[in-house]
Amino acid sequence: MPDYDYDLFVIGGGSGGVRAARVAAGDADARVALAEEDRYGGTCVIRGCVPKKLMVFASEFAESASVGSAYGWNMTSGTFDWQNFRGRLESELDRLEVVYRTLLKNSGVDTFDARARLKDKHTVELSSGETKTAKTILVATGGRPVRPDMPNADLGIVSDDIFHLETLPKSILIIGGGYIACEFACILHGLGVEVTQYYRGAQILRGFDDEARGLIAESMRDRGIELHTGTNIVEMALASDDHTMSSMPTTSDAAMGASAQQSQVMANDNTSDAASPSRGGPVWVKATNGRERVFDTVLFATGRDPNTDDMGLEEAGVEIGRRGEIVVDEFSKTATDSIYAIGDVTNRVNLTPVAIREGMAFVETVFKDNPTAVDHDLIPSAVFTQPEMGTVGLSEEDARDREEIEVYCTSFRPMRTAFAGKPDRVLMKLVVSAKNRTVLGCHIVAPDAGEMIQLAGIAIKMGATKEDFDRTVAVHPTMSEEIVTMKTPMRTA
């Protein structure tokens, strides 16, 4: 038997790779090493879920004064201090990275702060010049945001750059209609930035339930976000004086209504007169509808690609898919027996908890002689817009293409903001099989929808029927009680 340096070598220090390395070393007593070329914690901890959610929290305070006043509190809107928040954010990310490093160290995992690529199916070359061998190699390198293939695309920023802005721009154009684009549109608007969003499709959040994404789009516009669907960018350049004079923005009524809030939320010393701090100046943009505008910053949120470039994968016999993803079987094994891959680099379900589960299943399969496949069905998820969307299971559209269904839904003004005179609406929706009464999907658009869908996801994963929901006594007065009080279907299909 060959004498390898390690039983397992993990490439990538994100949530999935770290969990797999820790469990293999700690529970299976394997000799494990891990290489990471950037910061430990990966996309989720360093440039994704965690910093984004903290920014969501920060942005939600914008309406605290107006809502509080309606409840009798003598409150006035203050100003948002980006520098203060950014400093605390960076400190928190530093703390979390130390936690990840400590967990690996305490589990006995050797770590290398270096880029790793495959030399062959058992050998890893490090950018530090070292070469290591392993019986099994696990690739967990995640994904990265991409810019469109167009001239001057480098003038725009991507989601990774948001957390490193020296100052907030006064205005931003967000290109894209997926969850990242919509989340940052709501976040930045809440922090006082004038937000315009272009999406080439007919409606944002493609792939989600039509009724739910329609309500989110409506809510975004009501809050003052200039959302233009059926619109894309065709040309961009550094703004000149001529551009600035000839393309002054025409402020929409919604944006005008939000301007008072924005002027109160933003502190003058936190806004940027030269727009994109990381790209060097305002950007002139021409859209497919012929409209020309100058924005301080342009953010591309147009997709993510797996990190598989220049890793020696194909030379080692690993199959690469059309999007650059590593092709794996149900046990995360590639076309090469000694090489496995988990997480976003496989482009299956790109969610942190899924990557962690795939890492755990990999250890069960390879090191505990217990072949384990991850169940990728009925995974709850949330979109942290304002309001949030929580979803699990089939959309109404997907469900009716498969079988006859009944749709139970209600939309209403929640008590908390209705009392304050706010127009906000929420949506509660169940998609039910007409044949066996199983709840096929649940979709919630409401504040804290992510918290609610986690619990609904348990029932739906267990195969609960509509009658199971009906037998559950409501918690009153709450928004979520509507999930168990809807008795009559709104429509059938």
48/160 Cα distance (integer angstroms): 8
Give the separation between CA 341 and CA 358, rounded to whole angstroms. 9
Phi and psi torsions of 261, nearest 5°: -60, -45
Question: What is the reported pLDDT for 281?
Answer: 79
Phi-psi bin for 349: left (phi > 0), alpha (psi -120 to 50), beta?
beta
pLDDT computed for residue 2 by the predictor: 77
Position 316 pLDDT exceeds 60: yes
What angle (nearest 5°) sits at the alpha carbon of residue 250, between those of residues 296 and 232? 65
Per-residue pLDDT band at 259 (split at 50, 70, 90): very low
User: For residue 213, what is the enclosing H or E element?
Assistant: helix 210-223
- Can you say whether residue 44 is alpha, beta or left, with left for phi > 0 and alpha for psi between -120 and 50 degrees? alpha
DSSP character string of 426-452: EEEEEEEETTT-BEEEEEEEETTHHHH
Instruction: Give tens-digit pLDDT for 363-391.
Output: 999 999 999 999 999 999 999 999 999 99
pTM, rounded to two decimals: 0.93
Of 386, 432, 384, 438, the residue nearest 409 (C-alpha): 432
pLDDT band at 274 (very low <50, low <70, confident <90, very high): very low
Cβ(204)–Cβ(422) below 8 Å: no
3-state secondary structure of 274: coil
Torsion of CA 211, 217, 220, 222, to 10 degrees: -80
Assign 246 a pLDDT band (cuts: 50, 70, 90).
Answer: low
Q: At 443, is the secondary structure helix, strand, or coil?
A: strand
| Side-chain-facing half-sphere of 318: CA atoms under 13 Å | 32
Query: What is the pLDDT averaged over residues 223-232?
Result: 98
Beta-bridge partners for 439: 432
Res. 263: pLDDT tops 90: no
Residue range 95-122: mean pLDDT, rounded: 98
The answer to whether residues 349 and 144 touch, using CB atoms and an 8 Å cutoff, is no
How many other CB atoms sit within 10 Å of the CB of residue 108? 14
pLDDT bin (cut points 50, 70, 90) of residue 122 is very high
Confidence at 101, pLDDT banded by 50, 70, 90 = very high
Return the SS3 of 330: coil
Q: Are 392 and 441 in contact (CB under 8 A)?
A: yes
Residue whose entry in the numeric block shows the structure tokens 């942005």: 59
What pLDDT is recorded for position 244? Answer: 59
The per-residue pLDDT of the chain, averaged, comes to 93
Is-contact 132 33, C-beta < 8 A? Answer: yes
pLDDT at 251: 41
Least confident of 74-83, 173-182, 233-242, 376-385: 233-242
Q: pLDDT for 78-98, tens place per residue?
A: 999 999 999 999 999 999 999
Instruction: State the pLDDT confidence band at 423, using cuts at 50, 70 and 90.
Output: very high
Q: Among residues 122, 376, 443, 476, which one is catalytic? A: 476
Which CA distances in Å does 231 have to 170, 174, 200, 238? 22, 11, 5, 21
Average of per-residue pLDDT across 103-123: 98
Q: Is the pLDDT of residue 216 over 60?
A: yes
Instruction: Verify whether residue 476 is a known catalytic residue.
Output: yes
